[in-house]
């Protein structure tokens, strides 16, 4: 492990509720940095269809703990990585080591390194922008997509009045931003310490037990370990000129050519992503004629509020299309 990279001690992950999975690791690469160790879950039959479950900020593969058994019981192999900076994966201590492009490269490196094919991408939160961009670069490896409470950063003016949380350009040089989004971004950059459990607990419909909230904090035993969590919010593209928005527009152009099944599975209680399910359904050819789902009684982290229901929906999609 190179200097300046933190690795959460294994004892931090002992006896986490509902998370009996063995760890797996692969060294992944991104431009400008030495290889880093990425953790991933690998559960289910080795010869089964593969579901790639991607989390976002500030969670890790623990988020999918009630989804994984449902898929495995249906004969599906599950690969659920921890993004670099999260979970059991390595955590560079320098915030500027984390870029949107590198997150894409790291996940792409995992997909290529494991030679995953005929993939079903299941993406939530930042797992969408990252996973969709990996799909754009490795399209032949992906058979279908399940988009669950996620977005694609573009800041395009044509998103005006389409999203519950506004993030779009207007005119030649102005933007319209949801106040709550700006408040969130500023808080995460100014707070002396960040606690993942506070964000997760605030974005579910059902209260989470203390031991579950503690599991979300387990990867971050000291403030130095949270550099990636904090920086990911700073990477949020708010203008058309942001490099992340340019990546998002390039990825959207790729999705506009994606004719394989693309199914949205959004909850009814997540204003932060509300409206994107319609945008994707309209702009991705593979979304036409699909049985798009709405999961009732769930918040942004629908895996916590309705994990088995999400798992069943993904399994049905894999089995039928």
> What single string gives the DSSP state of each residue in 124-153?
EETHHHHHHHHHHHSGGGEEEEEEEEE---
In Å, the largest CA–CA distance within the chain is 54
82 carries an active-site annotation? no
Rounded average pLDDT over 127-150:
98
Would you say residue 124 has pLDDT above 70?
A: yes
Q: pTM of the entire structure?
A: 0.98
115 carries an active-site annotation? no
Which residue, 293, 304, 321, 311, is CA-closest to 75? 311
Rounded average pLDDT over 101-119:
98
Select which of 39, 153, 168, 300 is catalytic: 300
Report pLDDT for 273: 98
Asked if 130 and 117 count as a contact pair (C-beta separation under 8 A), the reply is: no
Select which of 97, 105, 270, 305 is catalytic: 270
Q: Using CA atoms, how far apart are residues 167 and 155, in angstroms rounded to an integer?
A: 6
Report pLDDT for 3: 80
Report pLDDT for 173: 95
Residue 268, domain CATH: 3.40.50.1820
Residue with tokens 């310490």: 193
Model confidence over 180-239: pLDDT tens digits?
A: 999 999 999 999 999 999 999 999 999 999 999 999 999 999 999 999 999 999 999 999
Select which of 82, 90, 97, 125 is catalytic: 125
Model confidence over 267-301: pLDDT tens digits?
A: 999 999 999 999 999 999 999 999 999 999 999 99
125 carries an active-site annotation? yes
Q: Look up residue 208 and give its DSSP letter.
A: P
pLDDT category at 2 given cuts 50, 70, 90 is confident
Model confidence over 30-76: pLDDT tens digits?
A: 999 999 999 999 999 999 999 999 999 999 999 999 999 999 999 99
How many structural domains are present in the chain? 1
Residue with tokens 């509020």: 305
Report pLDDT for 1: 66
Owning domain of residue 92: 5-320
Q: Using CA atoms, how far apart are residues 240 and 226, in angstroms rounded to an integer?
A: 28
Three-state SS string over 25-48 comes to EEEECCCCCCCEEEEEEEECCCCC
Report pLDDT for 276: 98
pLDDT category at 126 given cuts 50, 70, 90 is very high
């Amino acid at each position: 492990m190179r200097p300046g990279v933190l690795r959460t001690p294994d004892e931090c992950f002992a006896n986490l509720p509902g998370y009996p999975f063995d760890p797996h690791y692969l060294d992944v690469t991104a431009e400008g940095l030495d290889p880093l160790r990425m953790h991933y879950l690998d559960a289910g039959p080795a010869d089964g269809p593969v579901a790639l479950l991607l989390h976002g900020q500030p969670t890790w593969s623990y988020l999918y703990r009630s989804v994984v058994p449902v898929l495995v019981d249906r004969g599906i192999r599950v690969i659920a990585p921890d993004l670099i900076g999260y979970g059991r994966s390595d955590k560079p201590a320098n915030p500027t080591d984390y870029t949107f492009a590198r997150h894409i490269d790291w996940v792409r490196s995992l997909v290529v390194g494991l030679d995953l094919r005929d993939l079903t991408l299941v993406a939530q939160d930042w797992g969408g922008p990252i996973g969709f961009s990996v799909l754009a670069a490795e399209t032949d490896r992906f058979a279908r997509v399940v988009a669950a409470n996620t977005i694609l950063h573009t800041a395009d003016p044509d998103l005006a009045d389409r999203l519950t949380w506004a993030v779009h350009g207007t005119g030649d040089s102005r933007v319209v931003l949801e106040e709550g989004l700006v408040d969130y971004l500023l808080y995460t950059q100014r707070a002396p310490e960040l606690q993942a459990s506070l964000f997760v607990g605030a974005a579910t419909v059902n209260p989470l037990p203390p031991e579950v909230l503690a599991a979300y904090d387990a990867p971050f035993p000291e403030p130095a370990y949270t550099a990636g969590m904090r920086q990911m919010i700073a990477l949020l593209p708010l203008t058309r000129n942001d490099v992340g928005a340019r990546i998002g527009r390039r990825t959207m152009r790729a999705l506009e050519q994606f004719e394989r099944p693309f199914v949205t599975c959004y909850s009814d209680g997540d204003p932060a992503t509300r409206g994107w399910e319609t945008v994707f359904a309209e702009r991705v050819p593979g979304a036409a004629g699909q049985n798009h789902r709405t999961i009732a009684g769930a918040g942004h982290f629908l895996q916590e509020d309705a994990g088995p229901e999400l798992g069943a929906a993904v399994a049905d999609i894999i089995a039928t299309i």
